Amino acid sequence: MSEQSPVFQIQRVYLKEASLEQPNSPAILLEQEQPAVDIQLGVEATPVAEGVFEVSVTATVHTKVKDKTVFLVEAKQAGIFEIRNVPEDQMGQIMGIACPQIVYPYLRGNVADLIQRAGFPPVHLSEINFQAMFEQQQQAQAAANAPATTLPQ
């Protein structure tokens, strides 16, 4: 049996979830102080069918003035990818680097649009080096799986 050529196709990119909260409006809108912005990102990959995977990138943007929330946006952008005949040792990189790089620009646009539609200046998520992020996760996972060393008593 001859080896089949690798397949990597985008089936669909879509906004899976989006939420916006402004728990302290309208009073917080009168604040003159510059809000602090905290941005968290996450990537997950889930098998959907044989050779088909959903890869999603989640962003949480939390802005605060002092201890009060100005707004909280959570959005999950996902893509369905057909990935076949790829060596198993390359699957992690494809789903942890290549797929998120395709999905992320859509997430950036949706987050900025949602924040702007809420009446705030848009928050533009910065470019992400998914390769560096993937490598950090791999190192953290390797460290977590390393045998614990005990000191003699």
Higher pLDDT, 122 or 104: 104
Mean pLDDT of the chain: 90
Q: What is the pLDDT of residues 29-77, one digit of tens each?
A: 888 888 899 999 999 999 999 999 999 999 999 999 999 999 999 999 9
- Give the least confident one: 37-41, 83-87, 127-131, 144-148: 144-148
Q: What pTM, to 2 d.p., does this model score?
A: 0.85
What CATH number belongs to 7-126?
Answer: 3.10.420.10
Confidence class for position 1, pLDDT limits 50, 70, 90: very low
148 pLDDT above the threshold of 90: no
Side chain identity, residue 49: A
8 Å CB contact between 61 and 41: no
- Compute the distance between CA of residue 37 and CA of residue 61 in angstroms, rounded to an integer: 7
151 pLDDT above the threshold of 70: no
User: For position 36, what pLDDT does the model report?
Assistant: 92
Higher pLDDT, 98 or 145: 98
16 pLDDT above the threshold of 90: yes
The full set of domain ranges for the chain reads: 7-126
